[in-house]
Amino acid sequence: MVKDPRKRKSTLSQGMKHVTTAKQSATKKQKRGLKYRNANLRISLDSQAQEIFAMTASPSAPQPLESSEAAMHTLERTMQDL
């Protein structure tokens, strides 16, 4: 008994459809995971930036502006002495 070639072709195309949908669903899952991972990274970076900002804005931390002003005063004094 000879198989109908059209029948074989249709089953092959159905098999290919199944493979492509599985691949699409895998990429969708990957993209979804990346979206969540990026959001988590963004949240952690925001919290780190807030901690750094809080450390630099605290009054107990040495202010670079005051030290540069003091350096300018000493420079002016030395210029006046010369």
According to DSSP, residue 1 is labeled -
The number of distinct structural domains making up the chain is 1
pTM of the model: 0.27
Phi-psi map region of 26: left, alpha, beta (phi>0 left; psi -120 to 50 alpha): alpha
> Domain for residue 41, yes or no?
yes
pLDDT digits (tens, 9 = 90+) for 49-78: 777 777 666 655 555 555 667 777 777 877
Residue 55, C-beta contacts closer than 8 angstroms, at least 6 positions apart: 61
> Domain for residue 9, yes or no?
no
> Domain for residue 78, yes or no?
no
> Domain for residue 64, yes or no?
no
What confidence score (pLDDT) does residue 80 get?
A: 76
pLDDT digits (tens, 9 = 90+) for 6-31: 665 555 555 555 555 666 777 777 77
What is the residue range of 42's domain? Answer: 21-56
> Tokens 């959001």, residue?
39
Neighbours of 71 (CB within 10 A): 10
DSSP tally for the chain: helices H, then strands E:
2, 0
